[in-house]
Structure 1
Amino acid sequence: MAWEILNILAVGAFAFSGAIVALNERYDIFGTFILGIATPFAGGVIRNIALDVPVVHVWEQGYLLYVAFGTIAIVYFFPKSWVMSWDRWNIYLDAIGLSAFALQGASFAIENDFPLGGVIFASILTGVGGGVTRDVLAQRRPMVLHQEIYAVWALLVGLVIGIGLFSIDNAIQMYILFILIIACRVLSYHLGWHLRFRDMYRI
């Protein structure tokens, strides 16, 4: 049940985020649905390809596909003035998706008996893959390549789960980590934390 709730939250948040970006870029209905579908599901596809495990296709996602379609439809068919006012919440939705999918990726790797490096790798790919795909399709510079701290939070998820600080079998621990990563991502955005050290050494 814990994972089902996290999956629903992640898919809904990333589908919403993808659809909002599509509308901001003035995509038509087809483009909006494509971007909205790619954002929540691309990370898992990229992860499975990279780890050489069977790919779960988008049309095999069951009820999660309907969650994505319903979310995108709400975004597209609601009055545009309302939707664009929701854009300021996109950072929070992106943080929810990043956290939940990073947890999902780490859990996937643990269940498939990958070593620590594989757990971290799976967490990063699943957490940031959808956002990168969204930004590339929207012809934007991917956030993971910005000076902002973004992928580091997915890496942190993989690390603490991989070394056993948090157990994927403990729902309470998973929700604590889920909320903690969301908070870290939002704080890093609002406080302007970054990984660029070049300016520190500029003469």
Structure 2
Amino acid sequence: MSSEPAPLLVLDLTGTFAFGLNGALTAVRAARLDVVGVVVLGMITALGGGFIRDVLIDSLPPATLRDWRYYTLAAVGGLIAFALSRHLRRIGTAIVVLDAIGLSAFAVIGAIKALDSGLGVAPSVLLGVVTAVGGGTIRDVLVGRIPSVLHSGLYAIPALVAAAMTVAAVEWGFYGPPAALGAATACFLIRVLGLHYGLNAPEPLETRGGSGDPHPRKEPS
């Protein structure tokens, strides 16, 4: 069983369940899968980032395998998503909210676990981001989509903000449940507001509705 402080454990388990639901719902929307495929992709989304983090910090076996609550919540989330799949069009907002919750929780938890393993500031921030986006990236690759982290600027950026806030709080000596919640809330708000207002990171000129070349060459017909 996990030895995390109760508030962090709740945050971690909440993120696991949210990502299990979100990953499975996203899988239903992106691909025609049976119940096994939906649940597996939900579990991959929920557990993948933590697997990557624990392997990199040499915390083996991964925490999600040592504590039955993680993989159980991920599986239950996948099953609930499968049951709700017929109402997918009505729960689009829920998918976005669940994704933002999971992203926020895992960015904070990933950064804390990296610090606890003895890593420095920059690697801990990086592993916070990896924990947050890793599972969703694996899921997107498996269903044949470009991972969100590669084309949605306000996906990795909110995770980076939360991880950086968490690491800063620890380094400055005032980390605790309020700081963790504040970092997670910042990530959640940036992600949701970015989606609501269509905000994104800068893109190359050639992808902004034009070629970006003042004298584009004609392609042969």
Could you state the TM-score of these two structures normalised by the residue count of structure 1?
Answer: 0.88
Q: Rate the CA distance shift 1:43–1:167 in 2: closer, same or farther, 3 A.
A: farther
2:53 paired with 1:21: no
Q: Residues 167 and 173 of structure 1 are in contact (CA less than 8 Å); yes or no, is this contact kept in structure 2?
A: no
Q: Which amino acid aligns with 2:105?
A: A
Q: Residues 161 and 186 of structure 2 are in contact (CA less than 8 Å); yes or no, is this contact kept in structure 1?
A: no
Which residue in 2 is equivalent to 1:173? 179
- Partners in 2 of 1:128 and 1:113 — Cα distance? 22
Q: Residues 102 and 124 of structure 1 are in contact (CA less than 8 Å); yes or no, is this contact kept in structure 2?
A: yes
**1:47 equivalent among 39, 46, 53:** 53
**1:81 equivalent among 71, 77, 86:** 86
Cα distance, 1:59 vs structure 2: 3.7
Mapping for residues 27-38 of structure 1, pairs under 5 Å: 27-38=33-44
Q: Rate the CA distance shift 1:139–1:61 in 2: closer, same or farther, 3 A.
A: farther
Q: Rate the CA distance shift 1:112–1:168 in 2: closer, same or farther, 3 A.
A: farther
Which residue in 1 is equivalent to 2:3? none
Greater shift after overlay, 68-77 or 36-45? Answer: 68-77
Q: Residues 148 and 188 of structure 1 are in contact (CA less than 8 Å); yes or no, is this contact kept in structure 2?
A: no
Report SS of the residue matched to 1:150: helix
Cα distance, 1:163 vs structure 2: 2.8
Mapping for residues 97-136 of structure 1, pairs under 5 Å: 97-136=102-141
Which residue in 2 is equivalent to 1:56? 62
Q: Which ranges of structure 2 fall in alignment gaps of 5 or more residues?
A: 1-5, 215-221
Cα distance, 1:7 vs structure 2: 1.5
Q: Residues 129 and 160 of structure 2 are in contact (CA less than 8 Å); yes or no, is this contact kept in structure 1?
A: yes
Q: Which has the larger radius of gyration?
A: 2
Aligned residues: CA RMSD:
2.2
4+ residue stretches of structure 1 with deviation over 4 A? 165-169
2:137 paired with 1:144: no
Q: Residues 161 and 168 of structure 1 are in contact (CA less than 8 Å); yes or no, is this contact kept in structure 2?
A: no
Q: Which ranges of structure 1 fall in alignment gaps of 5 or more residues?
A: none
Q: Percent identity?
A: 27
- Partners in 2 of 1:178 and 1:14 — Cα distance? 15
Q: Residues 107 and 168 of structure 1 are in contact (CA less than 8 Å); yes or no, is this contact kept in structure 2?
A: no
Q: Rate the CA distance shift 1:3–1:164 in 2: closer, same or farther, 3 A.
A: closer
Q: Rate the CA distance shift 1:167–1:124 in 2: closer, same or farther, 3 A.
A: farther
